[in-house]
Structure 1
Amino acid sequence: MLPTARPSFSQRHPFIFGFLLILAAVALFMGASAALRHLTGGTGPFAGPRVGVVRVEGMIADISKTTAWMDTLRDDPSVRGVLLRVDSPGGGVAASQELLDAVRRMAQVKPVVVSMGTVAASGGYYISLGATRVIANPATLTGSIGVKMELPNVQGLMDKLGLARQTLVSGDMKDAGSPFRAMTPQEREYLQSLVMDMYDQFVTEVANSRNLPVEKVRAVADGRALTGRQAHELGLVDAPGGMDVAMTDLQQLCGITERPVLVEQPKPSSWLRDALESVLDLQPASRVVTPGFLYVY
């Protein structure tokens, strides 16, 4: 009697085999599509002109991935222009300045139009100054031109716990802003001078970028938030409107008459990270606040 042939993998596991076939087909399709886009520059018979999309959302802190994406779009000749969607209350001073520089570098090569979302205030407004045009919804919260330094103080708690801290410094200002003691008048004057220097940089940038007198900018640069309509009346933004208005402006600047293909930043899969954060109750690094000086626009 002849031995019975062993069933094939597809016969023993038909559902798994079918799933693998689907995965292979999807991978093949995506690879072919990517190759076609690379060879044709995204302008084949089934693709329109390409415009890049950059999203700045939440606190402005680690901007390395955003600036890297902007550099990619800037160097891609098939991308005709860039829509910068800003929905941020601000963030670190240096990070905002770096992002502003990246926006400005982009605008020197191709048109950049900002579309302000719910809030584009402080650093969110600051980074928009490098764009070709700035569009804000009438109810967008923007402006908030100013600088804030936050210094925690736990001296009262230390006294209640009977704890003390001894510090050796090389100069009078090396320990300025220590959270373990009261601030001296000299330290307050010194730290205030740092804040005012950064504030002056902010005001000067607004005046130069928006072609406004410095005195007019200082009149509203007391940290107050403005609606998009108020900002437009003051000359701080170019026009009222949402993403559709911003996209229309961008198409006109790029000379595009047909519906463009939007080139979004690829998002890495984060399901494993999200699951670990949920199960272990972990905080993403971007949400962790380090004690000490906190300069924010």
Structure 2
Amino acid sequence: MVWPFTPRFCKQVARVEITGIINGATRTRVLKALKTVEERKFPALLLRIDSPGGTVGDSQEIYEALKRLRQKIKVIASFGNISASGGVYVGMGASQIMANPGTITGSIGVILRGNNLERLLDKIGISFKVIKSGPYKDILAFDRELTEPEQSILQEMIDVSYQQFVQTVAEARNLTIEAVRSFADGRIFTGQQALALGVIDRLGTEEDARRWAAELAGLDPEKTPVFTIEDRKPPLSRLVFNRSRTLAGMEAGMQWLEFELASSGLPLWLYRP
């Protein structure tokens, strides 16, 4: 559906949140929201990121969508408590980036994890018979150790993904590859350090980012409101999780567990202390 051109939306800053782990569900939600921003012809977008990152492909698709959108409107990213790894990558799609001085960011790098249950399976007497078309078809199988050739294959894949990350940051922030590599070793750093490194443009709150977005769009920063675009949860879901922090915490824990299981064996742009 194409939304009509209305003065109402042209005098507001759109706001989209990326919170929690970046995965397929995040990608679907955010891409839908960005399409709405474009169709309703908002003059600027405030992208609030509070995420430790997540899957590589999903982060890349959100980044590419932001790159396309910023050709039409101003896109300002605001880093919240944490915007690390894939959160940083997504932020590179914005026109400008602002973070709090104490924001945890960085963790530029790639990680791939698999589960090796070989010893446990031996103890309980379980083994598997595998018939495969090639020596690497069951790479990262959970019932055995990796072989040296398999480790080399996976390391090469990780190195390629890492190079993509470094290249994107270098291009987005107008830095040299060497400069990015000097801090893209997986370390985390604060928003203040990120400013010194050239990863962000300014220090400030989300409200500061809203004002900046309004200014860049030629709107009055004192009077321009934000319009948050989000999927509404069912009424019962809102009632339950607004009333119980414990249940909300359980939901977050289940999301992490689900992500760990679903992403086993995938390269990740993720910070997980």
Verify same fold: TM over 0.5: yes
Using a 3 Å threshold, how does the CA distance of structure 1 residues 177 and 66 change in structure 2: closer, same or farther?
same
For residues 111-136 of structure 1, the C-alpha deviation after alignment (integer angstroms, 9 at most, x for no partner) is 00011100000000100001110001
SS in 2 for 1:97: helix
Residue 129 of structure 1 corresponds to which residue in structure 2?
92
Cα offset for 1:282? 8.1
- Report matched runs for 1:201-280 at 5 Å: 201-257=164-220, 258-273=222-237
Preserved CA contact (<8 Å) 2:11 2:224: yes
For residues 118-161 of structure 1, the C-alpha deviation after alignment (integer angstroms, 9 at most, x for no partner) is 00000001000011100011100111100000101100100100
Residue 30 of structure 2 corresponds to which residue in structure 1?
66
Preserved CA contact (<8 Å) 2:210 2:226: no
Preserved CA contact (<8 Å) 2:33 2:230: no
Preserved CA contact (<8 Å) 1:153 1:181: yes
The alignment-based identity, stated in percent, is: 34
Preserved CA contact (<8 Å) 1:82 1:111: yes
Q: Which residue type is aligned with residue 73 of structure 1?
A: V
Task: Tell me how far apart the structure 2 counterparts of residues 286 and 260 of structure 1 sit (CA, whole Å).
Answer: 35
Using a 3 Å threshold, how does the CA distance of structure 1 residues 59 and 269 change in structure 2: closer, same or farther?
closer
For residues 69-91 of structure 1, the C-alpha deviation after alignment (integer angstroms, 9 at most, x for no partner) is 111101222x1100000000100
Task: Tell me how far apart the structure 1 counterparts of residues 103 and 73 of structure 2 sit (CA, whole Å).
Answer: 26
Preserved CA contact (<8 Å) 1:49 1:259: no
Q: Does residue 101 in structure 1 map to residue 64 in structure 2?
A: yes
Q: Does residue 188 in structure 1 map to residue 151 in structure 2?
A: yes
Using a 3 Å threshold, how does the CA distance of structure 1 residues 139 and 295 change in structure 2: closer, same or farther?
same
Residue 145 of structure 1 corresponds to which residue in structure 2?
108
Q: Name the Cα RMSD after superposition.
A: 2.4
From 58, 73, 76, the counterpart of 2:40: 76
Please identify runs of 4+ aligned residues in structure 1 that moved more than 4 A.
37-40, 273-276, 281-287
Task: Tell me how far apart the structure 2 counterparts of residues 138 and 71 of structure 1 sit (CA, whole Å).
Answer: 31
For residues 203-226 of structure 1, the C-alpha deviation after alignment (integer angstroms, 9 at most, x for no partner) is 011111111010010011110001
Task: Tell me how far apart the structure 2 counterparts of residues 171 and 138 of structure 1 sit (CA, whole Å).
Answer: 51
Question: If the length of structure 2 is used for normalisation, what is the TM-score?
Answer: 0.86
SS in 1 for 2:43: strand
Using a 3 Å threshold, how does the CA distance of structure 1 residues 284 and 218 change in structure 2: closer, same or farther?
closer
Task: Tell me how far apart the structure 2 counterparts of residues 217 and 228 of structure 1 sit (CA, whole Å).
Answer: 16
Task: Tell me how far apart the structure 1 counterparts of residues 254 and 84 of structure 2 sit (CA, whole Å).
Answer: 23
Task: Tell me how far apart the structure 1 counterparts of residues 28 and 132 of structure 2 sit (CA, whole Å).
Answer: 34
SS in 1 for 2:53: coil
For residues 162-201 of structure 1, the C-alpha deviation after alignment (integer angstroms, 9 at most, x for no partner) is 1111111111111111110011000000011111110010
Gaps of 5+ in 1: 1-36
The structure number with the bigger radius of gyration is 1
Cα offset for 1:294? 3.0
Residue 244 of structure 2 corresponds to which residue in structure 1?
none
Task: Tell me how far apart the structure 1 counterparts of residues 77 and 265 of structure 2 sit (CA, whole Å).
Answer: 30
Cα offset for 1:273? 4.3
Cα offset for 1:283? 8.4
Cα offset for 1:244? 2.1
Using a 3 Å threshold, how does the CA distance of structure 1 residues 39 and 242 change in structure 2: closer, same or farther?
closer
Number of residue equivalences: 254
Task: Tell me how far apart the structure 1 counterparts of residues 138 and 159 of structure 2 sit (CA, whole Å).
Answer: 20
Q: Which residue type is aligned with residue 67 of structure 2?
A: R
